[in-house]
Amino acid sequence: MISMKFINAATLKLEQDFAPTTAEHGCMVDVRGIGILIKGSSGSGKSEIVLGLLDRGASLVADDSVKLSAPEGQELTATSSELGRFHMEVRGLGIINVPKMFGAGSMRVEKRLDLIIELTHAEELNELDRVGIKRQFHTVLGRRVPLIRLPVAAGRNMAHLVEVAALDQKLKS
């Protein structure tokens, strides 16, 4: 390798390897080009939403534990651990192999984080902004990421709501 190309490649690799990182509990999906971290308490329906999104053509990045990194001057990127990559745990079904069930296009190794969706209990419905005028943000590794709180209730098509939130975020950005 030419010295200059080697130095450039080594610098990029070192920046990536030593970038600030953190882990978040949730599921990371790519919905129509928008990277969404779905957070919520245990049993709130994150995996069921992701399954619905996979049926609609989304791609899974990480399930349960999402590794986020923020190299200097670059965007927040999310990935999963190598051990759990390509797999997802669904209560009652166990661990499923996502690409074998939904095809090779249903997985991504990493994705930029564009939006965080936090699932809340339906009882908190009245406390939420109904019009969507006030934008909320969540800070991850010193960077502000748009946050949407969605109430979970019986009969709501949560996968569709998350997809609409992704499209709305795409329009806003």
* Residue among 64, 162, 166 at smallest CA distance from 119: 162
Structure tokens at 87: 């797999």
Write out the catalytic residue numbers. 25, 46, 64, 130
Place of tokens 């992701």: 50
3-state secondary structure the chain: CCHHHHHHHHHHHHHHHCCCEEEEECEEEEECCEEEEEECCCCCCHHHHHHHHHHCCCEEEECCEEEEECCCCCCCEEECCCCCCCEEEECCCEEEEHHHHHCHHHECCEEECCEEEEEEEHHHHHHCCCCCCCCEEEEECCEEEEEEEEEECCCCCHHHHHHHHHHHHHHHC
